[in-house]
Amino acid sequence: MTTAVLSKQDVLRTTLMTLRSALPELRGVLIATTDGLPIVQTMSEGTDANRVAAMAATAIGLGKRINDTLGSGILTEMSVSGLDGQVYLYAAGKGVLAVVAPAGMNLGLLHMEARDAAQSIASVL
Amino acid sequence: MAIFGDLVHLPFIDLTRVLAHQTGILFLRTAFAGRSVELHLDCTELRGLYLDGFPINESSRMQDVLHGLTTSATGTFEFQPTELTSLTPHLKLTLSELLDPYGETAVPEAQLPHADTRFRSAELPPTAPAHLTASWQQIRPRLEAGASPADVAHQLQLSELQGRELFSRLRTAGLIVPVRGNMPAKPTGRTVEPDVQLAGSIPDRATAPEAGPVRRLLNALRRFTAVAGRA
Amino acid sequence: MSPLKLVVSGPVGAGKTTFVQTLSETAVVATEAEATEDIGKALTTVAFDFGTLNLDGQELHIYGTPGQDRFNFMWDVLCDGALGLVMLVAGDRPQDFMHARNILEYITSRFPIPFVVGVTRQDLDRVWKPADIAAFFGLPLSQVVGLNAINPADGANLLIRLLERLPLSPHNGAPPRVGSTSSPL
């Protein structure tokens, strides 16, 4: 039982690390449950990962609600952008992937890598 | 009515405050070294103290038991209200005076005040107990206009958890109270401003609502409850 | 006439979602997710529950907050501009009283918001009564009300007690008119 839980964590950590090496400019990556608890994360110093996990769950929850109302189908992703940076949130099965990027990042590459990561996360959780 | 629970979630001192207007027996199942304790209370007075059913009369033994209850009591409790005449009192002592000199229990993290809750000095604070005197002297000036555990932890270079623990102790000792109502909130997110807006300025969000809509709501709600009746 | 906004908060399991559902005339819009912790139920609110009540033409919007501390940013978001706060605590869960008090103090020490405390589960025999909860919170008895969260009359009564506490600005001198213009809220 314990071994099974550990290897889920290991797989998720590997996914996170793969994403970070593919996109070195990222400020942080976090995988959370849909009810806002962090599972694995590499956020920068001074960022409260617990807070980010809860906010990611709230945002995705609201995003799903908006999608339902507009008839847009199952939620896949959403973003919050500011002048100095942005966060992209991906629905990942029973979890949420949050990717924090600096301003001016190559979004094509980011989305390609992150969507892949979200899929492997969904298959693990 | 029922007053029951577990001391790990509701510390003994807080429980005694709840019972300040009650007369009856407080039964603590395993509170003192796994043994049961009964306190016979008549409002703020301790009229009887029993350990495993045996009355405790002797002063130093009583102090041991009360100290144990204050600092390390665990287990479930139940309060049974009774008439004073049903108690067989063998003591007549003011409970709060018996408890004052002692330290308090460590409060679990989940029950500590929030790091951003703002507190101020109590209107007429009591004398600080010995173990809090130094901290109180340091913190008191910062609390004139209200401050949070996070603010004070930052200023005194404590961890946020230490700040919350300190505020929990100061509050249990009656030295501080949470800010209520009229003071404007600081902007969300920690800032290092030592100055706090004073109650003179009235923020937009404290603008009183128009009387008309609220009165209309009240009247409609009152009509509804008159018709629906109380369960 | 712009809608008035009320917030319902309290620990997990206090009955917030039930309370909003009981009072709301419209279907409650809830934003929930599967709970990964053992909280005694399958779903937990991650954003808010939204319900509406229309009384004599005055629209009331009721927002239920999440209960866990990690969602405290939602307490800030939802209480901003709110008319008043209902703090619910389950009378059969003394293990949550400290937590409920901490939530209440967090919110009310940051926002000058009128509030009442509602003690739910009053249908049970073994339950804490409002007077004792008031003693624990250090509040006057008038501010702590017992209720059964599924009873609409109880819910309405709690709203009455809250609205009675509001400091009201005098009407702008003109006599009240039917269909008066919206209030600045």
Q: What is the mean pLDDT of residues C112-126?
A: 95
- Compute the nearest-CA separation of C174 from chain A (Å): 42
CB contact under 8 A, C71 and A33: no
Please say if the pLDDT value at position B205 is more than 60: no
CA B18 to chain centre: 9
The answer as to whether B172 is a domain residue is: yes
CB contact under 8 A, C47 and A55: no
Closest CB to A61 among C33, C37, C68:
C33
Residue B102 pLDDT level (bands cut at 50, 70, 90) = low
What residues of C are in contact with residue A35 (Cβ under 8 Å)? 33-37, 44, 46
CA C55 to CA B18: how far, in whole Å?
38
The answer as to whether C184 is a domain residue is: no
- Compute the nearest-CA separation of A22 from chain C (Å): 30
Domain with C64 in it: 4-163
Please say if the pLDDT value at position B191 is more than 60: no
Residue range A21-78, pLDDT digits in tens: 999 999 999 999 999 999 999 998 888 999 999 999 999 999 999 999 899 999 999 9
pLDDT value, residue A86: 95
Q: What is the mean pLDDT of residues A110-114?
A: 96
The answer as to whether B168 is a domain residue is: yes
CA B184 to CA B206: how far, in whole Å?
8
C17 in contact with chain A, both atoms CB, cutoff 8 A: no
pLDDT value, residue B131: 81
Please say if the pLDDT value at position A89 is more than 60: yes
pLDDT value, residue C144: 97
Question: Residue C13: CA atoms inside 13 Å, Cβ hemisphere, count?
Answer: 16
CB contact under 8 A, C74 and A58: yes
Place of tokens 């102790």: B169
Residue C135 pLDDT level (bands cut at 50, 70, 90) = very high
Give the end of a domain, one of B49, B70, B99.
Answer: B99
pLDDT value, residue C56: 85
- Compute the nearest-CA separation of A2 from chain C (Å): 17
The verdict on B122 and B83 lying in the same domain is no
Closest CB to C156 among B180, B208, B221:
B221
Contact B220, C60 (CB under 8 A): no
Tell me how many domains chain C contains: 1
pLDDT value, residue B207: 63
pLDDT value, residue A80: 95
CB contact under 8 A, B230 and C157: yes
SS3 C7: strand
Please say if the pLDDT value at position B193 is more than 80: no
CA C57 to CA B92: how far, in whole Å?
60
User: Where is pLDDT greater, at B224 or A107?
Assistant: A107
Contact B55, B91 (CB under 8 A): no
The verdict on B175 and B140 lying in the same domain is yes
* Sequence spans of domains, chain A: 2-124
Mean pLDDT of the residues in chain B? 82
B229 in contact with chain C, both atoms CB, cutoff 8 A: yes
Furthest CA-CA distance within chain A: 46
CA A18 to CA A15: how far, in whole Å?
5
Please say if the pLDDT value at position B210 is more than 90: no
pLDDT value, residue B188: 39
Minimal-distance CA residue of chain B relative to C176: B212
B213 in contact with chain C, both atoms CB, cutoff 8 A: yes
What six digits make up the tokens of A77?
A: 């992703």
Please spell the DSSP secondary structure of B160-219, one letter per residue. Answer: HHHHHHHHHHHHHTTSEEE--SSSPPPPSS----S----TTS--GGGPPPBHHHHHHHHH
The answer as to whether B190 is a domain residue is: yes
CA B130 to CA B180: how far, in whole Å?
28
Fold of the domain built from segment(s) A2-124: Beta-Lactamase (3.30.450)
- Compute the nearest-CA separation of B58 from chain C (Å): 31
Please say if the pLDDT value at position B114 is more than 50: yes
The verdict on B68 and B131 lying in the same domain is no
Q: Which distant-in-sequence residues (6+ apart) come within 8 Å of A96 by Cβ? A: A31, A32, A33, A34, A53, A56, A57, A60, A89, A90
Please say if the pLDDT value at position B180 is more than 90: no
* pTM for this predicted structure: 0.84
CATH of the domain at B130: 1.10.10
Domain with B138 in it: 110-196
Residue B226 pLDDT level (bands cut at 50, 70, 90) = confident
Q: Do chains C and B touch (3 or more CB pairs under 8 A)?
A: yes
Contact B134, B96 (CB under 8 A): no
Tell me how many domains chain B contains: 2
B190 in contact with chain C, both atoms CB, cutoff 8 A: no
